[in-house]
Amino acid sequence: MPFEFYDKDIREVIIIFHSTLLKNKKKFDSILERPEIEEKNRINNLDKSYYDNVLEYDLTRYRTQILDFLENHRNLEYAEYYEETAAELKRVIETKRDNFGDFKEVFDFLTKYLMEKEPEKLKRYRNTIPALFHFMYYQCDIGREK
């Protein structure tokens, strides 16, 4: 190891700090702080046809339901999973972004990656999975904003 330190204390701080974040949690349906969607799509190299015909279709079908689910107090634990996963994906996608051309390739990769982990369990969700990634993109939880 390059260096050592007593990591148990910092783990406890992280856990306690994380629990305080719940009290200050933002509403998912708050005003989105992002460029206009056309500009976001340009920045992320997402073509208009994919956005108009695929992403908007999923948003029309699922966005309200996803928001209702994430904002429901009974689903607080799952909302935390969502936020942690979205932050992780934002970092991973940005780090590996040059491996993909159009952002729809990122959606395709994420969907296939997830499906390959447990194909039998997830096959009935093969349309919900990309819809959730589309929601993350639209909400600016993944993808570039500038």
pLDDT digits (tens, 9 = 90+) for 127-140: 888 999 999 999 99
- For residue 44, what pLDDT is reported? 95
More confident: 1 or 69: 69
Cα 37 from Cα 51, distance rounded (Å):
9
Q: What is the mean pLDDT of residues 16-41?
A: 67
Q: Per-residue pLDDT for 24 more than 60? A: no
- Choose among 119, 112, 116, 117: nearest CA to 133: 112
Residue 4's pLDDT band, with cuts at 50, 70 and 90, is low
- For residue 116, what pLDDT is reported? 85
- For residue 119, what pLDDT is reported? 83
Q: Which two tokens stand for residue 49?
A: 């046809």
86 contacts 136 by C-beta, under 8 angstroms = yes
Q: Per-residue pLDDT for 25 more than 70? A: no
pTM: 0.81
Q: Position 77: which residue type?
A: E
- For residue 13, what pLDDT is reported? 63
